[in-house]
Structure 1
């Protein structure tokens, strides 16, 4: 969920009004980036969309990069909360892997505006100072841990390389989401099911 509720200003917790205003700016930033890209996202455009002055935006966010980082963190928070809840509800480790796949694809396919925020925020040409990178280990470690748990219960074969499989699944998810962005008729849910079937066939113990 949004980190604004935990933010501080000058060493003091934000007031409810400040939290609400920051959340408004973050939400508008997500919309503006989705419509105009990073280059078309400016503090003035955010201010105009909110019906306030640019100075009002700067009161909460010192720069465009800071605002984009906040928008990125909001998008990631919503994604991880959604997928995490599905994984926790899974009946077992193998089901948790499948919940991860279906949840990630389902959420991103349903929120193309969030996908563009992620893509634009992590673009090397944009100086957002976000440490996450498309190829960073953090992208596959959580899924690899789920795969390891499935191996421990023998739902998956013990010889499955969890890192390799996690990276492969991540790459497949990226490709499927890219396709869904290009083709509005693309059935992301069916694609997620197909990927789950591939994982079952390649990693399943039976």
Structure 2
């Protein structure tokens, strides 16, 4: 939970107001992009004053970080929930791939926030991920799933880091194309990604 300004735990009303501001920020970034999103526009969309936004977050950078964390936490929780309940590593891997696609398909504006926050106009990092997470290691959870599958005998021997990067890159490529071309059949793409993933890791 984000501490309130001046210390202490935010009240229920303050938490609700922060969620409202963050949701408005998500909409603005998804529509206009991060550089063109102003605190004034966020405040107007939320139906409050700019001073009220600054009361809760003190700056655009702080609001951007809170928004990024809000999106990433929900994305991660969605994927984790669907992965952890699976009976074996193979099923967990399929659920992981499906959950990554499914969440992004259902939350297109969240995908925009993540890409806007992580990449600047030159392809570099705009914003360091909150909570100490290394954006360069974003496929570590996938590598851990692959390692578990190897240890249980479900998957063949391979370098889990390399393969997790290959699978993750394929997912990123499909999502990037879908963002630019919304007519892409993302369900069919998810089917192919599942097949691609299993062919990459299973014993032959």
TM norm structure 1: 0.90
Alpha-carbon distance in structure 1 between the residues aligned to 2:30 and 2:85: 31
Match of 1:148 in 2: 147
Equivalent runs, 1:117-128 vs 2, <5 Å = 117-124=113-120, 128=127
Alpha-carbon distance in structure 2 between the residues aligned to 1:202 and 1:142: 17
Equivalent runs, 1:183-194 vs 2, <5 Å = 183-194=181-192
User: Which structure 1 residue ranges, 4+ long, deviate > 6 Å from structure 2?
Assistant: none
Match of 2:166 in 1: 168
Cα drift, residue 85 of structure 1: 0.6
Determine if the alignment matches structure 1 residue 70 to structure 2 residue 70.
no
**Higher mean C-alpha deviation, range 117-126 or range 43-52:** 117-126
Match of 1:34 in 2: 30
Alpha-carbon distance in structure 2 between the residues aligned to 1:77 and 1:130: 11
Structure 2 vs 1, CA of residues 127 and 176 (structure 1 numbering), >3 Å: closer, same or farther?
Answer: closer
Segments of 5+ residues of structure 2 without an aligned counterpart are: none
> What value does the CA root-mean-square deviation take over the aligned residues?
1.7
**Higher mean C-alpha deviation, range 97-106 or range 196-205:** 196-205
Cα drift, residue 55 of structure 1: 0.7
Match of 1:202 in 2: 200
Any conservation in 2 of the 1:34–1:117 contact (CA below 8 Å)? Answer: yes
Alpha-carbon distance in structure 2 between the residues aligned to 1:91 and 1:189: 24
TM norm structure 2: 0.91
Match of 1:83 in 2: 79
Match of 1:116 in 2: 112
Cα drift, residue 129 of structure 1: 4.6
Structure 2 vs 1, CA of residues 19 and 49 (structure 1 numbering), >3 Å: closer, same or farther?
Answer: same
Cα drift, residue 128 of structure 1: 3.9
Match of 1:60 in 2: 56
Any conservation in 2 of the 1:109–1:180 contact (CA below 8 Å)? Answer: no
Deviations 1:81-101 (A, max 9, x none): 110011012121111111111
Segments of 5+ residues of structure 1 without an aligned counterpart are: none
